[in-house]
Amino acid sequence: MNWLNIHTDTLRSEEYLGADPVERATWLSLLGWCATQENGGLIKDAIEWKDRKWQQVCGITKAEVETESELYAFINRDLLVRYYPGESEAAVIAKRLAGKKGGRPRKALKTEGKKPHALENQNHDPEVSKREAETKGKERKGKVRKGNVKEAVAPLPFGSLTFTNSWNEWLAYLKQKRKTPTPITIKKQLNQLEKLNEQDAIITINQSIQNGWQGLFPVTGKTNKQPRRNDGGSPRGGDAAGDGITVPML
């Protein structure tokens, strides 16, 4: 992306206002780098970067990026940049792919198999064609195209900015793992989090991201036994595995 779409609510959030000027400048530099790479706000294997590389690619020092901050944080070996505009990135990529395919073809270029216009037929009555066109136009107005009806998006169970950011981080994390959740999976996961209080719901999301899991396994304020993992990275078995909802790959 050649630009950044930062929501004004982000600039008024507690995390941003509570950060010192160095943290804010570091965060903006990280956002700029992620936008050019279109990496969803996650810098892979960033833990191995040396100070010189940080200065060359992001214009910041290794000490600055390692400073504990609520605007960015290391998750295992990767660096997660919070509040990254993932939706804007997805829109840019979609438009680029459409452009490579040539976009929507022009109707004027479709000449193969085209039927001659009714008015081009010398034996056809123009008044009859006009009445037919008006009748068909009225019929089309009364029809509803199924393709234009969009399925409603499931609402988030909590309306706070903190939970919204955590949920967006979860979706960005799944994208980095190349796991695309189906709409029904998203709905069930949100219903699952709705049964918790907001704090436990956020902890549940962070736990799955930190452990590299593909599903959400609710934390209810008690010590949660860590489920054992299968080869795919999502927890299976154990006391908490039965409550989790994993993400099927499309």
Reported as a single tens digit per residue, the pLDDT across 162-174 is 999 999 999 999 9
Instruction: Reply yes or no on whether the pLDDT at 106 is more than 50.
Output: yes
- Which neighbouring-strand residues pair with 216? 245
Give the closest residue to 76 by CA, choosing from 43, 101, 98: 43
pLDDT of 144 higher than 70: no
- Give per-residue pLDDT as tens, 72-91: 999 889 999 999 998 888 88
Q: How far apart are CA 194 and CA 67, in angstroms?
A: 33
Residue boundaries of the structural domains of the chain: 8-86, 161-243
Q: Is the pLDDT of residue 238 over 70?
A: no
Q: Measured between alpha carbons, how far is 214 from 211 in angstroms, rounded to an integer? A: 9
Percentage above 70 pLDDT, the chain: 68
Q: What is the pLDDT of residues 189-214, one digit of tens each?
A: 999 899 999 999 999 999 999 998 98
| Both tokens assigned to 150 | 């969009």
- Per the model's pLDDT, the better-predicted residue between 116 and 155 turns out to be 155
The residue type found at 5 is: N
